[in-house]
A = this chain, B = another copy of it.
């Protein structure tokens, strides 16, 4: 067992999955027209439309920072604002990218322990101010699943979109781990997006086994107007677009997009079930995707680090273990054993 296999700090430490790799390999035969005019890009977009049972507009961006930031920028003006939860990645980990892409739109942050927004939070922020000196809310962004691994149910999303509709807000979904939410809910992608009132989805591929490349889906074509130019100007139009698009074909056609997520989710559940009743160890959040957040004393966490395990820790004793498409369940068992030993030791 190498050091790397003990690495649970992030699901983007994993490499490229076989299905994505094979598709890139296949696309890498001969020449292809550039800038998305190729057959691979067309086919990938069509696969998304099939999967979502929607004639949606599909764009590709290099990473999630850009995908989410451009989507938000397209939904509001610089003098407007975006409602998000306090743990939203756009607020906590994008170094001001949404503000940069939108030329100054403000994020209005709702305190939230589990990262989920509720209609009441949205309503409170959207109606807190109505004067010219404060940016009016125009968009709500939710992360599905949240940064703490919590999943919005179909009903959750419908309730949010109803509030958005009432308040004249657009609903954006940051789906960096969208597949993992689908895997947990056992629903179709359409059920938790356009059928539930989501306007724009950023569907992440990187954390689920791809090298680069996130898809942006506009379920209302009118909102997508000019988005191709926006991507170009913002440095997000790939000349060899086929290498962003083809892996999606591999993922979607083979079912790996869902299988990978199911595997990662399964590893998280496996760990959670084996450690949740240990003395001193507590699950900070229910396990609903591919992350396990443990509350444990420093002695246990130090012990684990000494044994070579790598994970993120937070102030107050929280430890995050992330699982990927390639996580070895045997290593998860080893980790569980070591946690047990540390807890009982």
Query: Which positions in A face B, CB cutoff 8 Å?
Result: 2, 4-5, 7, 9-10, 12-16, 21, 24, 27-35, 61-66, 69-70, 77-81, 92-97, 99-101, 103-106, 132-136, 206-207, 211-212, 226, 228-230, 232-240, 243-244, 324, 326
Q: Are A229 and B63 in contact (CB under 8 A)?
A: no
With A101-B235, A212-B62 known as contacts, the answer to whether A79 contacts B34 (CB < 8 A) is: no
Q: Are B4 and A32 in contact (CB under 8 A)?
A: yes
Q: How far is the CB of A206 from chain B (nearest CB, A)?
A: 6
A106 to B102: give the CA distance in the assembly, Å.
Answer: 13
Q: Are B5 and A238 in contact (CB under 8 A)?
A: no
Q: Are A62 and B235 in contact (CB under 8 A)?
A: yes
Q: Are B233 and A96 in contact (CB under 8 A)?
A: yes
With A31-B7, A103-B104 known as contacts, the answer to whether A80 contacts B229 (CB < 8 A) is: yes
Q: How far is the CB of A152 from chain B (nearest CB, A)?
A: 23
Q: How far is the CB of A97 from chain B (nearest CB, A)?
A: 5
Q: Are A226 and B79 in contact (CB under 8 A)?
A: yes
Q: Are A135 and B21 in contact (CB under 8 A)?
A: no
27 A-B residue pairs with CB within 8 Å: A5-B31, A12-B34, A12-B239, A12-B240, A13-B34, A15-B30, A16-B28, A62-B212, A66-B235, A66-B236, A79-B96, A79-B233, A80-B226, A92-B134, A94-B133, A95-B229, A96-B135, A96-B233, A99-B105, A100-B234, A103-B104, A104-B104, A132-B228, A132-B229, A133-B232, A212-B240, A212-B244
A62 to B66: give the CA distance in the assembly, Å.
Answer: 11
Q: Using Cβ atoms and an 8 Å threshold, which residues of chain B touch A61?
A: 235
Q: Using Cβ atoms and an 8 Å threshold, which residues of chain B touch A78?
A: 96, 99-100, 103, 230, 233
Q: How far is the CB of A119 from chain B (nearest CB, A)?
A: 21
Q: Are A63 and B211 in contact (CB under 8 A)?
A: no
A134 to B90: give the CA distance in the assembly, Å.
Answer: 10
Q: How far is the CB of A328 from chain B (nearest CB, A)?
A: 10
Q: Are B4 and A31 in contact (CB under 8 A)?
A: yes
With A32-B4, A79-B233, A104-B233 known as contacts, the answer to whether A16 contacts B97 (CB < 8 A) is: no
Q: Are B96 and A105 in contact (CB under 8 A)?
A: yes
A250 to B119: give the CA distance in the assembly, Å.
Answer: 50
A219 to B242: give the CA distance in the assembly, Å.
Answer: 33
A324 to B31: give the CA distance in the assembly, Å.
Answer: 10
A326 to B105: give the CA distance in the assembly, Å.
Answer: 38
A20 to B181: give the CA distance in the assembly, Å.
Answer: 35
- A-B CB proximity, top 10 nearest: A66-B235, A100-B104, A99-B104, A79-B229, A79-B233, A93-B133, A12-B239, A103-B103, A62-B62, A13-B31
Q: Using Cβ atoms and an 8 Å threshold, which residues of chain B touch A239?
A: 10, 12, 63-64, 206-207
Highest count of chain B CB atoms <10 Å: which of A5, A66, A232: A232
With A232-B133, A235-B61 known as contacts, the answer to whether A96 contacts B81 (CB < 8 A) is: yes
Q: Are A240 and B79 in contact (CB under 8 A)?
A: no
A326 to B30: give the CA distance in the assembly, Å.
Answer: 8
A228 to B97: give the CA distance in the assembly, Å.
Answer: 13
Q: Are A33 and B16 in contact (CB under 8 A)?
A: no
Nearest chain-B residue to A25 (Cβ)? Answer: B21
